[in-house]
């Protein structure tokens, strides 16, 4: 009978984490953000290798002369050439295109605005890519671009903006920049530089240990003694200005220096490897940046020629092709880089001109076509 009146134990809620024991290791690596503003700050304004790569490519690409031609002739005088020579009241051609190429390298996106004119635009302006947002239409193609500064927003019509972007395999509207591909190497290089700076601040030596032994053996410093010792070390023995200053130890204190570990010795090699990876992502031969340990090219001239052939000229060709399709008033003409105006390719072009000139089996027009020239005017 007692079993009939036996009450069940009340329901008790137990924590799922009650029996769990957590073990923490050394922690995960901390990486910087991958947005355009962060990458510009971390990889360009705060990293000498990234800064030099972007400046080297942008300045070289902006200095490549452009020619305007159609199927019949090259133009020495044309409204488009006048516009490119003086794109706006505050910039020349070199400054405008350096900014455009720089934005393209840093963010993967370059935006150029055209101020409407009669036949050709009145002015051209480079728009900051971190402030631009694509406005896609129902079919996915851009119908406009939003330019945002603080709380203000302005919408550009799609035809008013020339948007050149790096190829991105998983994004339909924005490009992938070399800086994003090099982001991990940039973080490693910056961390190595900070480590070197901290080492210099510590008198260019690894840390050591001060051991206190009382008359009876090992002992413990009092609070006042500890604070006094710490303040003296920080004020008189840390920093490059205090390097080599002798240390006076009293009252049973003994200094035990700690030498470089094998990992400390490899730190400089890690930094150099990260610098080469940054240069690799941008397509700049490390020899042109003065990085040690690279002997891919026989000499500087060969490395410079490869730099133009593999990095600069493809970028210039991409931008001039986009401008040829976008600029109004082209009238069937096309912008192209003038290879004969690139000093790094002088020997290569001279050999090509000589080889074509000596080909007696070719007609005059065939020779001109091989050299990228229009047919001879009749």
Q: What is the predicted pLDDT for the residue at 22?
A: 44
Q: Report the percentage of the chain scoring pLDDT > 70.
A: 73
**At 334, is the pLDDT very low, low, confident or very high (cuts 50, 70, 90)?**
very high
> pLDDT tens for residues 32-68?
666 778 888 889 999 999 999 999 999 999 999 999 9
Q: What is the predicted pLDDT for the residue at 332?
A: 84
Asked if the model's pLDDT at residue 222 lies above 90, the reply is no
How far is it, in rounded angstroms, from Cα 145 to Cα 109?
13
Mean per-residue pLDDT, 322-326: 94
Q: What is the predicted pLDDT for the residue at 365?
A: 79
**Half-sphere exposure (Cβ direction) of 343: Cα atoms closer than 13 Å:** 3
Mean per-residue pLDDT, 322-328: 93
Exposure b/e, 182-193, CB count within 10 A at least 16 = b: bbbbbbbbbbbe
Of residues 316 and 28, more confidently modeled: 316
Q: What is the predicted pLDDT for the residue at 73?
A: 83
- Among 19-33, 89-103, 182-196, the range of highest mean pLDDT: 89-103
**At 315, is the pLDDT very low, low, confident or very high (cuts 50, 70, 90)?**
very high
Q: What is the predicted pLDDT for the residue at 26?
A: 42
CA dihedral 114, 116, 117, 118 (to 10 degrees): 120
Among the residue ranges 13-22, 85-94, 129-138, 322-331, the one predicted with the least confidence is: 13-22
Alpha carbon of 78 to those of 168, 258, 337, 373: distances in Å?
35, 72, 16, 18
Asked if the model's pLDDT at residue 304 lies above 70, the reply is yes
Asked if the model's pLDDT at residue 21 lies above 60, the reply is no
Asked if the model's pLDDT at residue 325 lies above 90, the reply is yes
Mean per-residue pLDDT, 247-269: 62
> pLDDT tens for residues 129-154?
999 999 999 998 999 999 999 899 99
- Judge residue 141's burial from the number of C-beta atoms within 10 Å of its C-beta, 0-12 exposed, 13-18 middle, 19 or more buried: exposed
Asked if the model's pLDDT at residue 207 lies above 60, the reply is no
Q: For the chain, what percentages of helix, strand and coil (3-state, to nearest 5) are there?
A: 45, 15, 40
Which helix or strand (DSSP H or E) is residue 154 part of?
A: strand 152-157
Asked if the model's pLDDT at residue 27 lies above 50, the reply is no
218: which strand partners? 213
Mean per-residue pLDDT, 17-25: 45
Mean per-residue pLDDT, 7-28: 49
């Amino acid at each position: 009978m007692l079993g009939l009146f036996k009450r069940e134990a009340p329901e008790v809620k137990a924590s799922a984490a009650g029996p769990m024991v957590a073990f923490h290791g050394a922690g995960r690596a901390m990486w910087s953000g991958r947005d355009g503003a962060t990458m510009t700050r971390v990889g360009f304004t705060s990293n000498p290798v990234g800064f030099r790569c972007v400046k080297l490519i942008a300045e070289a690409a902006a200095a490549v002369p452009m020619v305007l031609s159609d199927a019949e002739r090259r133009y020495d005088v044309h409204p488009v050439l006048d516009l490119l020579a003086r794109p706006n009241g505050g910039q020349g051609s070199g400054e405008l295109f350096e900014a455009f190429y720089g934005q393209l390298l840093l963010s993967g996106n370059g935006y150029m605005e055209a101020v409407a004119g009669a036949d050709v635009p009145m002015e051209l302006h480079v728009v900051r890519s971190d402030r631009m947002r694509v406005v896609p239409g129902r079919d996915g193609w851009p119908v406009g671009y939003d330019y945002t500064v603080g709380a203000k927003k302005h919408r550009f019509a799609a035809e008013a903006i020339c948007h050149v972007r790096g190829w991105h395999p998983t994004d339909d509207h924005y490009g992938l920049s070399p800086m994003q591909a090099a982001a991990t190497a940039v973080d490693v290089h910056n961390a190595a530089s900070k480590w070197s700076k901290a080492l210099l601040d510590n008198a260019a030596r690894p840390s050591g240990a001060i051991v206190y032994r009382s008359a009876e053996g090992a002992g413990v410093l009092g609070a006042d003694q500890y604070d006094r010792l710490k303040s003296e070390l920080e004020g008189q023995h840390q920093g490059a200005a205090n390097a080599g200053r002798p240390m006076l130890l009293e009252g049973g204190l003994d200094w035990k220096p700690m030498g470089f570990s094998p990992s400390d010795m490899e730190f400089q090699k890690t930094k150099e490897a990260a610098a080469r990876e940054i240069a690799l992502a941008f397509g700049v031969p490390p020899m042109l940046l003065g990085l040690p340990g690279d002997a891919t090219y026989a000499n500087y001239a060969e490395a410079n020629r490869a730099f133009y052939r593999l990095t600069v000229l493809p970028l210039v060709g991409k931008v001039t092709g986009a401008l040829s399709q976008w600029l109004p008033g082209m009238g069937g003409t096309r912008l192209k880089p003038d290879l004969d105006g690139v000093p790094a390719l002088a020997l290569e072009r001279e050999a090509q001109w000589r080889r074509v000139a000596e080909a007696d089996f070719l007609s005059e027009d065939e020779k001109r076509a091989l050299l990228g020239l229009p047919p001879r005017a009749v």
